[in-house]
Chains A and B, each alone.
Chain A
Amino acid sequence: DAKTTQPPSMDCAEGRAANLPCNHSTISGNEYVYWYRQIHSQGPQYIIHGLKNNETNEMASLIITEDRKSSTLILPHATLRDTAVYYCIAPTGTASKLTFGTGTRLQVTL
C-alpha cells in the first residue's frame, strides 16, 4: 500500500465544510484512494474513493490533485454526527487487506 499521511486532528463548526487532507506521494498510477470513517465504537464505514478524477456522492466529495500525490475529502455541511476518525487508504492490487493508519480525528462542534 502507498504510505498516507494525515493530520492527527481537526475541528469544524457545525454547518461548515470540513476539508480533510491526505498526502500519498508514493502512490502508483493504478492505486485508488479510499476514504473510510470510524464513528466511536463502531466498525469503519466506506465513504468514497477515486483514481484521478474528482468524485462526489451523497456523503462527500473527493478532490485529487493532478499529480495524485495528495487528496482532500470534503464534507460540505458537517453535522455533529460526522464526528469520527477519518482514514485515507491507498491499497495495492486487489485490496485484500487494508492498511489503516491513525487517521484524522474530526471533531464537529456547535
Chain B
Amino acid sequence: QKEVEQDPGPLSVPEGAIVSLNCTYSNSAFQYFMWYRQYSRKGPELLMYTYSSGNKEDGRFTAQVDKSSKYISLFIRDSQPSDSATYLCAMSDGNFGNEKLTFGTGTRLTIIP
C-alpha cells in the first residue's frame, strides 16, 4: 500500500465549475501538506502549503486537511482553462533534518472552455 493515494483521473470539468481534488494517506506522522501544479513536461509549482489540520484559502484555491481522517483536499473555484494541469499532493512528517516530501501520483485535470 502506498503511503499517499491519489486518484489519477483524468478529470474533466466545464469552465467555471468548482473542482475538488483529494488525497488520502496512511502515515499519521505527516504534519505538513502541500499541493503542487505541474504542467506537461515542466517542474511542479507550489500552490498551497498547510501545517496540521484546518483550511487555508488563497484566491480561487482552498486547501483542507483532516488529520483525523487522513484526508486532504484542494478546491478550485471558478475554474479556468489555464488550470488544466496535473495536481500533485505532497506531505512530510516534519522530521527536521530530512524534509523529504512524499507525493501522490497526481490527478490530471482538464477544464473545458
A and B bound?
no
